[in-house]
Structure 1
């Protein structure tokens, strides 16, 4: 019995060390942006709207928002949004959202995040731009895509996924990060020393390095 313990003991210990190493390796990545939400600190019209070049609710307008970020990266956010309202859906009502682009920054104890959002290919939404005295503008963008760089723990990773955003009259600006495709490395060093195991999309170090090379 003692002999069996001497033989199996090191094997069990080695397996435990390998399992522990893999678990520790998997814990090194920060969270994705899935579940993150933005809310502007003050209600509409908190941003500086410009544009509204036409009198029928169509045109391009921009906003600068800053407010509270909640979720995996709690803290504050700043976002600049450009929206284009196209052909009217119904007379004197909402027009079709034909373009959406935003740049954003999150300041959080979890990490620093910078990124962009755009209207998903083939998607649309609703928007309206008024040239009245109060210069009202509103939009609903249910299908956006985002791309972000997340800096945490001395490393930077990229994250991509889907999001949605709304701005309604007399309501705060709100935005949600809905899904994520998972984090990806930005340097070859992140692939070495079993670092590639952090990223389930890669089967080995070579695939991880090849991905980084393709992005550069």
Structure 2
């Protein structure tokens, strides 16, 4: 198993509160990794630490065998890391069309093929969309960023991808994200969820988190084996 990106003995503090307690977390290349846990377990903080949007109090972030702990978030993004947070993941003052064109110029048709629900909303400002509509817009921007042409994202981090989505749309979303691990993208995809999503590809990895520590982990057989 080739590790694409990893946390090494990572500690993150928010004021006096330590959110991650010396966490070691390898993220395999070309694989879906699921971070499981309740709210407050540390899932979002793991994603932020990998993305560089929160600093480490101790430990390292290693990406492609290199220590990138000191690299700011925008530099990691330029090097191929795409982060979709649970909130504020779109540009609210821009229209849906402008959000899509900013993420992937000339590829609007691909975006609408993935989420046709966005078609009637192209002229609407993102701030006026429902939570589920904003989620679709944020997710499709990430999917396009991770898929060629151009330099595809090597790491895609998504915080609660199904948030606000109808069941059918959530299922389609998991399929789109899982497809990024195969050719031609071969991305390492990390999802923060409260339960293992259905339909993950064979070889996907699930880790349980509780209060900032890793409590369990195993490979999911065809997406059906849960982390205990």
TM-score, normalised by the number of residues in structure 1: 0.25
TM-score, normalised by the number of residues in structure 2: 0.24
State the structure with more CA Rg. Answer: 1
